[in-house]
Amino acid sequence: MGVGLSYFDKAGHGEPLAVGFTVANVQVYQPFHSGLPKLGTYFRQVWRRRSFIAEYSRSELRAQNFGSLFGQLWLIINPLLLALVYFLLIMVIGGAADGRRFAHLTAGLFLFYLVTNALTMGAKSITSGGKLILNSAFPRFILPLSATVISFFKFIPTLVVLAIITLLLANPISLALLLLPPILLLVLVLALAFALLFATLNVYFRDTKNFLPYLTRAWLYLSPVLYESASLKPALAPLKYINPLAPFIDAWSGIFVSGAAPTPTTWLLMLAWSIGLLLLSSYLFLSREREFALRI
């Protein structure tokens, strides 16, 4: 863009002055009343902010003392102590339990907390980021995504403990171990879906975050963590299909405990739940995103 300016002295004689300007590209977020933003442009903006996601996640982890030795130990000790408590409960109620059962309990519990931690932090990601949302223009998708990244980094130390437990108490050495990365990837997709869903719900219904502890506790008891899906009575068998986490825990524990690869039905359930919920929750989140600043 060119601009012409002139200088005039007291006698009225003038000469042009050269003025240079540098105009930067500015991303303008225009409001829309319904539907979705342009997804290609939107997710390119998310990708360009990947360094922000990484730094934001690291700052949150530092705030939770993740960088210290005791902070990382607590991430392992807390679910491990819960596993011991539940193991004792199984022994008291069932009358017997063995090392394989403890390995299954530990594997399922660690995976369960990966998803529920993302869900819980994701639910608060929009309402707790009010100042950032009001003062900055950026894709809000970044905040629940960062909550999922944080949950994943908190999950990593537990893999070392899980590997030691299963080596000592189970028989995990098999080619099925190669299937763990795709299963974990689908689990992270599911965790992101729940983070997006509950982030949206918590904006409109602020009591959602207060309800979550009861929801996650009931969800734990209904998931194949304290029990194995194979031991369900026929009347309770539908839990394997209507519980989003059930196929993931079955596949994860089956590989660690017995070295068994997931069945085709289990793969189909994992794909359906993770991708289906991600599409649904993403639609709800993105279609309501521009209202968040008015409601927080």
The stretch 195-205 carries a mean pLDDT of: 94
- Tokens linked to 101: 């059962």
How far is CA 8 from each of CA 18, 21, 43, rounded to the nearest angstrom? 14, 22, 52
Query: What is the chain's mean pLDDT, rounded?
Result: 82
Q: Among 63-72, 124-133, 143-152, which stretch is predicted with the lowest mean pLDDT?
A: 63-72
- The whole-model pTM stands at 0.82
- Tokens linked to 271: 């794909």
Would you list the DSSP string of 148-170?
HHHHHHHHHHHHHHHHHHHHHHS
What's the sign of the alpha-carbon dihedral 247, 249, 251, 254? Answer: negative
pLDDT of residue 58: 84
| Segment 79-96, tens digit of pLDDT | 777 777 777 776 666 666
Identify the residue with better confidence: 101 or 216: 216
pLDDT at 27 over 90: no
Give the rounded percent of residues in the chain with a pLDDT score beyond 90.
41
The stretch 252-265 carries a mean pLDDT of: 91
How far is CA 183 from each of CA 46, 219, 248, 289, rounded to the nearest angstrom? 24, 20, 7, 30
In the chain, the amino acid numbered 150 is I
Residue spans of the domains in the chain: they are 36-295
